[in-house]
A and B are shown apart, each in its own frame.
Chain A
């Protein structure tokens, strides 16, 4: 009976998200808007003149050589890094020094990291219920039902009572995705979610991400998985030296790159 309730709770959540996505799209309000964003690490100009609009429900893949600022870009979206010039507006809220508003944004923006960053002292289930209970003030029972539902969706419900240290990398990353989804975010950010994984685990994580993309989630993924980009991305963004060099729909981007650096990068990455 409890899974039933959990399932209906998840269905309700998804309906709510779909509704919100429609509402935002109708108002023509972008999920994420970056206007003329610059950032420096000390003297080092790491992000330069970034202008990016992500529509609700849109799936963006960001790629580019190492050190080009991809992580920095996506970490600016939930203010893990602070930008120094320009404006970033997420879900209608502008990022500023107001900590309350930042937490408000973070509640709606899920993030999946390269190294999973699960909490090792908590079980898988506790990892998943922590934020709903403490941030969303959801009753524990309900949070657990929803967590089990998402763990089932990423195909590891049987691991719920283990600790992260007892799981494989691929399983941990799927837990990390489920953990973010438990907050029913409007936007999901992925920072190279598969690059710390062995080849055979990459697919199980990508499958979950494809599934998520098809459910209509707004996603920004930093990844070099070009198969994934082709399959689900609405747009591929290529970055180099802290700037957006080229962006296009995947088919055009891969078949017909315009910029020299894009061509070079693609020739290296696609062999």
Chain B
């Protein structure tokens, strides 16, 4: 073999250095994009065509139903009767107040609006990384807002008292979901740290808590809270139903969160702990500054998964007689004033859309954060 190599192959000294050149121009244009992304190979092309066929089959009827044949105006069922009627959006429009506030007294609904507004005012700047005053913002969201929301929603201080039985719709969904998220995130982190603690008592308690709540279905938790709890409480002492649901949901998702976070903690190399310890950092600064930022970043998909699961699980509060968004939509199907063949489909579509907007928003935001936290670290 070696003999066959020419002189040039065996002996080479570069005489001219190659200067750095810009990368070859990126080809642009629609045609090129289609070729690269949709028809790069035969199987790929077949999949593209099948997908297009599926869309052609499914999208037009959906548009027909949701927009073209849909009924937008009307005050009762008459509007939505007929052979070729699509979605009955008039129903959603008429019941919109209930879907958002439940049976919250109409004259007091501004209080709920104010709470939503305060929440948005706190959340939006918090979510934009470049917005200033993050510490103050967090203080507002985690301390001032909850207190203000509690007073505004339940009443007192001159405001009319509105018992939680009257709350409903999106209000209940958001109250349960947000409380669940705000409690389960820090509690989950503490439980995950506890489960890895060197102190046997802490570890044992954490494991017991996690396994207890993870081991029972949420429905059971909610049922027990409303059926069993009264047996243990003295007569006359009652525990607010919504509060029970809140605690149940928060603890339940904390257990899940703990396991997600623990997965992240386990992925952090031992060297990180050692480097931090060798500097003289104590346990909490080490966790706060070094370990958790990396561990949490790793498990963002899992965390958001848990949040989304929690958000959708709020619907289960229906079984203890609380009406979340889905519950109140379903409840309104029984209104004979709006009994039409399209009522249920439209109501479910509306509820699904609202849930989807929130969950998709969380998902997109988490992807944005993940990209932002990318630091070029290769494992």
Contact = CB atoms under 8 A, between A and B. Distances in A.
Given A121-B377, A163-B376, A165-B377, A183 B271 contact: no
A130 B275 contact: no
A84 interface: no
A78 B278 contact: yes
B280 interface: yes
A135 B289 contact: no
Given A134-B285, A163-B375, A165-B375, A106 B278 contact: yes
Given A106-B279, A131-B280, A135-B281, A117 B274 contact: yes
A166 interface: yes
Contacts of B271: 113, 115, 117
Give the most central of B269, B274, B280: most A CB within 10 Å. Answer: B280
Interface in A110-136: 110-111, 113, 115, 117-121, 130-131, 134-135
Given A119-B290, A131-B281, 5 more contacts: A99-B282, A103-B282, A119-B272, A119-B294, A183-B280
A121 B376 contact: no
Nearest to B276: A119
A113 B378 contact: no
Contacts of A57: none
Interface of B: 269, 271-272, 274-282, 285, 289-290, 293-294, 297, 373, 375-378
Interface string A176-191: 0000100100000000
* Main DSSP-derived SS at the A contact region: mixed
21 contacts: A103-B280, A106-B280, A107-B280, A109-B278, A111-B278, A113-B271, A119-B272, A119-B276, A119-B290, A120-B294, A121-B373, A130-B279, A130-B289, A131-B280, A134-B289, A135-B285, A165-B375, A165-B377, A165-B378, A166-B376, A183-B279
Contacts of B377: 120-121, 163-165
Main secondary structure of the interface of B (DSSP, over half): helix
Interface residues of A, number: 27
A180 B276 CA distance: 11
Contacts of B278: 78, 80, 106, 109-111
Contacts of A166: 376
Contact of A135 (B269, B279, B376): B279
A134 B293 contact: no
A119 to B, nearest CB: 6
A84 B315 CA distance: 57
Contacts of A111: 274-275, 278
Contacts of A107: 279-280
A121 to B, nearest CB: 5
B279 A119 contact: no
A117 B275 contact: yes
